[in-house]
Amino acid sequence: MAAVLLFDIKPVYHFEDIDVLDLRVCYNGEWFVNEQVSKKAINKILTHPQVPNTIKDDIKHIMQKKQRICFYDVFMLACSEQSPYAQSINMVNKSAGI
């Protein structure tokens, strides 16, 4: 077993080969999948004037189904590449200089 530890293992990875989700999981672990968003944070999101109503509606829908919402749910709704809202939010942020 000790001999195995002497090997210098350096797999070759290219950044473009790693999916964004894989990178987040490697860096952060999966805490965000189960970490519940506080009711105070949810209320702030739901009352914030710059959060699109479609995202607010989706958050309410998740809350009805699961009785809670996790950071991962919010991320997937608003920021992930799969999100239908990510493109429009990025455009709003760019126009606002954020």
Residue 9 within a domain:
no
User: What is the pTM assigned to this prediction?
Assistant: 0.54
| Residue 53 CB partners (closer than 8 Å, separation 6+) | none
Boundaries of domain holding 81: 35-85
Residue 63 within a domain:
yes
Give the per-residue pLDDT at 5. 53
Assess contact for 83 and 77: CB atoms under 8 A: yes
Residue 45 within a domain:
yes
Measured CA to CA, the distance from residue 80 to residue 58 in angstroms comes to: 14
**What pLDDT digit, counting tens, does each position of 17-29 carry?**
656 656 555 555 5
Residue 19 within a domain:
no
Which value, to the nearest 10 degrees, does the dihedral of the CA atoms of residues 75, 58, 65, 19 take? Answer: -30
Residue 8 within a domain:
no
Q: Total domain count for the chain?
A: 1
